[in-house]
A and B are shown apart, each in its own frame.
Chain A
Amino acid sequence: MNLTINSRTPNETTRILEIEGEIDVYTSPQLKQEIVKLAEGGVKHLIINLSKVEYLDSTGLGVLIGGLKRLREAEGNLVLVGPALRILRIFEITGLDKIFDIYATEEDAAAKEGVSL
């Protein structure tokens, strides 16, 4: 019942966060802390890889929306990569798939966002 966050730094203003596990009311504060730390540290582009996330609830959605708003205000973006169908469905039924940029792979995300990996 835990969350692992692996962070990679392709360049100074870009971070890739690969998340593994369940994002819920217990674990989402950990993700929020990481996103806030990166945003405050000058990261503009955050690529969040959800391919190993098995569970996501409204608290997780809340953290991602908060991060998206923060980065867009800093003229950057927070994008999502590779959610399983089950997780993608949660974005679709809440209409949040229209708010987030969701890509199949990290390479797609980087190309569309104009950042080099």
Chain B
Amino acid sequence: MTQTLCDTVELVIPCRPEYVGVARLAVLGIASRMPFSYDEVEDVRLAVGEACTHAVERAGDTSAQIKIVSTIDSVALVIEVIDDVPVGTEPVVQSEDAQLLEAAGVDQQGLGALLMEILVDEVKITSSETGTSVRLTKFAPE
């Protein structure tokens, strides 16, 4: 289905683990508006999941929110995952898991970033005092 217009869908969820699945479900519907293959839709879903996870892990026990703004047109699907977790307020306590992973030479947050880079065409991360935005772009097939 070719879109001639540019459609925007916005979703706001609490920045907590139990809501990341809700974002993934919504993205499944949104990505299905594009002429993507099954695998490409799944790639977008996982990339958005990783962007939300990154926000959730930094938010800790706060009342932060995640806003997911999806823009659909004939050229690309752009999904921006915006949180209001101020940079520098992240919990600094390193979990035992993080230490284990570090010892194994794996940085879990690095894994999330790596996945996003591989799964979509463009990733742009912007952080400010008010929060972080992860902008994911997946171009429509030629």
Interface residues of A (CB under 8 A from B): 1, 22, 24-26, 32, 55, 57-59, 61-63, 65-66, 68-70, 86, 90, 93-94, 99
Q: Does B125 contact A (CB under 8 A)?
A: no
With A26-B20, A57-B50 as known contacts, state yes or no: A94 contacts B100, CB within 8 Å.
Answer: no
Q: Does B114 contact A (CB under 8 A)?
A: yes
Q: Contacting chain A: which of B6-14, B105-113, B131-139?
A: B105-113
Q: Which residues of B, 44-84, contact A by the 8 Å Cβ criterion?
A: 46, 49-50, 52-53, 56-57
Task: Specify which of B21, B39, B111, B118 is in contact with A86 (CB 8 Å cutoff).
Answer: B39
Q: A58–B50 contact, CB under 8 A?
A: yes
Q: B56–A94 contact, CB under 8 A?
A: no
Q: Does B5 contact A (CB under 8 A)?
A: no
With A26-B17, A58-B53, A58-B108 as known contacts, state yes or no: A66 contacts B101, CB within 8 Å.
Answer: yes
Whole-angstrom distance from the CB of B11 to the nearest CB of chain A?
A: 16
Q: Does B104 contact A (CB under 8 A)?
A: yes
A25 cross-chain contacts in B, Cβ below 8 A: 17, 20, 52-53, 56-57
Q: B115–A32 contact, CB under 8 A?
A: no
A1 cross-chain contacts in B, Cβ below 8 A: 18, 21
A55 cross-chain contacts in B, Cβ below 8 A: 24, 46, 49
Interface residues of B (CB under 8 A from A): 17-18, 20-21, 24, 39, 42, 46, 49-50, 52-53, 56-57, 97, 100-101, 103-104, 106, 108-109, 111-112, 114-115, 118
Closest chain A residue to B118, Cβ basis: A93
- Taken together as a complex, chains A and B put the C-alpha atoms of A99 and B101 apart, in Å, by 13
Whole-angstrom distance from the CB of B55 to the nearest CB of chain A?
A: 10
Q: B17–A57 contact, CB under 8 A?
A: no
- Provide 21 A-B residue pairs closer than 8 Å at the C-beta atoms, listed in order of the A residue: A1-B18, A24-B17, A24-B20, A24-B24, A24-B49, A25-B17, A25-B53, A26-B20, A26-B21, A32-B97, A55-B24, A57-B46, A57-B50, A57-B115, A58-B109, A62-B97, A62-B101, A62-B111, A66-B97, A69-B100, A94-B115
With A58-B53, A66-B97, A86-B39 as known contacts, state yes or no: A22 contacts B21, CB within 8 Å.
Answer: yes
A65 cross-chain contacts in B, Cβ below 8 A: 100-101, 104, 106
Q: B42–A94 contact, CB under 8 A?
A: no
Task: Specify which of A22, A61, A69, A70 is in contact with B108 (CB 8 Å cutoff).
Answer: A61
Closest chain B residue to A54, Cβ basis: B42
Q: B108–A59 contact, CB under 8 A?
A: yes
